[in-house]
Amino acid sequence: MAETVWSKEIDADAAGERLDRWLAAQPELEASRSEVQRWLEAGRVRVDGRPGRASERLRAGSRVSVDRPEPRRLSARPEAIPLEIVYEDEDLVVVNKPRGMVVHPAPGHREGTLVNALLARLAPPEELGDLLRPGIVHRLDRETTGLLVVARNGRSFARLQAMIRERQVRREYLALVRVPQGEEGRLPDRGRVEAPVGRDPVHRRRMAVVEGGRPAVTRFEVLERFREAALLRVRLETGRTHQIRVHMAFAGFPVLADPVYGGRAALEMGRALGLGGQALHAAVLAFAHPADGRPLRFEAPPPGDFLGAVEELRRRTAGESGTGVSRAGGAAGRGEAGEGSAVENRPGSGRADEGRGEAMVLQQKALIMDQEALERALRRIAHEIVERNEGTGNLVLVGIRRRGVPMAERIARYIEEFEHVRLPIGMLDITLYRDDLSLKSERPTVSETRVPVDITGKTVVLCDDVLYTGRTVRAALDALMDLGRPARVQVAVIVDRGHRELPIRADYVGKNVPTSRREVIEVRLEEVDGRNEVAIMELTD
């Protein structure tokens, strides 16, 4: 089989990335992660002349080469399968996928897939990166219904892939979950499940929350409460295989009629309600058009059996209580899943009962900053930065991912208002510099670091939301030293937790809030969470 050689030198921006992820992100290769994995296993990828390993971290100046085989013959063929097309243009197709349809061909499912149905509408498969998954940039499980976008050409495919990777595609789901009797208080009105997802070490065809798995975050909001069930709006922050089903089961509230992760009670309850499959529906899909950037937003109602199950749950709940269903704090009308509570399990963090493996819940204890107070704190920080540095000359604002960047941008806007100077803004990922890296994951997700100016000799203001310990500051200083040698480094944070581990104080701080070991401070920024407020969350068993 003929081969073509592709090679590229690693620049500073790509340093620290995993080899397999970097290769899959190269638009010239137009390859999926699975395709890259096959190249690596076959020894077709070399780094500085030696065979490459999927998990190795790239170094600036290294050269990566790939011996690419000619495209394999496509085994999938176009089929005349009816589809509900929600939107279509020359660049993409948005489909409302029915229950029971597999997205792409796989062993045991070579025909009748979404790809088979779409092949007649797409560009030649060779242009779309993977001959068995042409145009597929994200997937839905076979029994999950709802919205899915498919690229129609190579340019849109590469751009949509990048948007998914950079979390610029908003995906909201509706889910019916089982709430065991007596456990109602453990399901907060709004929350977040944060737990690493990987292959189940015992049942290899299943996924599970496992130490060393890939980082995964799922946000949820209770729309309605029923007797032993609830209707949730769920938003993916990451996109791991079976993520919602795994996370909700791990939190103790499995998706109804889920035959793999739901357990017998949730499966039987779903069947009794007439559900033909797991009660999970991709209801909202929003993103910028890959060609012209215009905002697109699509909504699709759940299928009939899902709606029927909701009505039956309402009837049962009303019959038992005589008062109708419980709606969670007006959450259904806000249109934005918040972060008012959290269900978390970070390996090594001590936030889960290791003996039982049960999640613990963070419930809001106090709101310490509303929108007005948060704006006032950021404006004060902006004024103090200018006053203490006697102007804006030589200043660079650098946000620590993830809330630090929008915080830096907002401070820069305020400074521009009263100084008429736009300061340069950088973004800093400190993942690989943390001394507690092993507690997070063996395969951490590394984001982009980008500072638009040389920081040598300048005053760098590090911006972040909450200062918990000195680890973050130490890691940020190490990361900055790799970029240059600033004359001074200052710290700007919205909240200083008043920590006791290290006596580090912020130069500019919006508020000092000492907390106990069972308390966590959560900062919500409009640019990230859709709201502006700061709250103290308290761990409850």
Task: Give the residue numbers marked as catalytic.
Answer: 141
Could you give the CA distance from residue 437 to residue 439 in angstroms, rounded to a whole number? 5
Could you give the CA distance from residue 77 to residue 117 in angstroms, rounded to a whole number? 9
Give the residue from 322, 357, 365, 358 showing the smallest Cα distance to 341.
Answer: 365
Strand, helix or coil for residue 458? coil
Strand, helix or coil for residue 413? helix
Could you give the CA distance from residue 403 to residue 14 in angstroms, rounded to a whole number? 22
Residue 158's Cα: distance from chain center in Å?
A: 19
Could you give the CA distance from residue 541 to residue 293 in angstroms, rounded to a whole number? 45
**Structure tokens given for 418:** 């009263």
Q: Is residue 398 within a helix (H) or strand (E), and if so which, with residue range?
A: strand 395-400
**Structure tokens given for 406:** 């929008």
Could you give the CA distance from residue 482 to residue 479 in angstroms, rounded to a whole number? 5
Neighbours of 234 (CB within 10 A): 25
Strands 229-236 vs 217-226: parallel, antiparallel or unpaired: antiparallel
Phi-psi region of 8 (alpha: psi -120 to 50; beta: other; left: phi over 0): beta
Strands 145-151 vs 326-327: parallel, antiparallel or unpaired: unpaired
Neighbours of 263 (CB within 10 A): 15
Cβ distance 463 to 434 under 8 Å? no
Residue type, 349: S
Q: Can you list the positions of beta strands (E) in 196-236?
A: 197-199, 207-209, 217-226, 229-236
Give the residue from 533, 273, 249 showing the smallest Cα distance to 403.
Answer: 533
DSSP 60: T
Give the residue from 52, 15, 12, 60 showing the smallest Cα distance to 431.
Answer: 15
Cβ distance 140 to 150 under 8 Å? no
- The CA-atom distances, in angstroms, between 535 and each of 72, 231, 503, 518 are 54, 25, 23, 14
**Structure tokens given for 447:** 């984001």
Is the bond leading into 402 cis (omega within 30 degrees of zero)?
yes
Could you give the CA distance from residue 35 to residue 57 in angstroms, rounded to a whole number? 19
DSSP 98: P
Cβ distance 466 to 495 under 8 Å? yes
Cβ distance 443 to 55 under 8 Å? yes
Helices and strands (DSSP H and E) totals, the chain: 12, 26
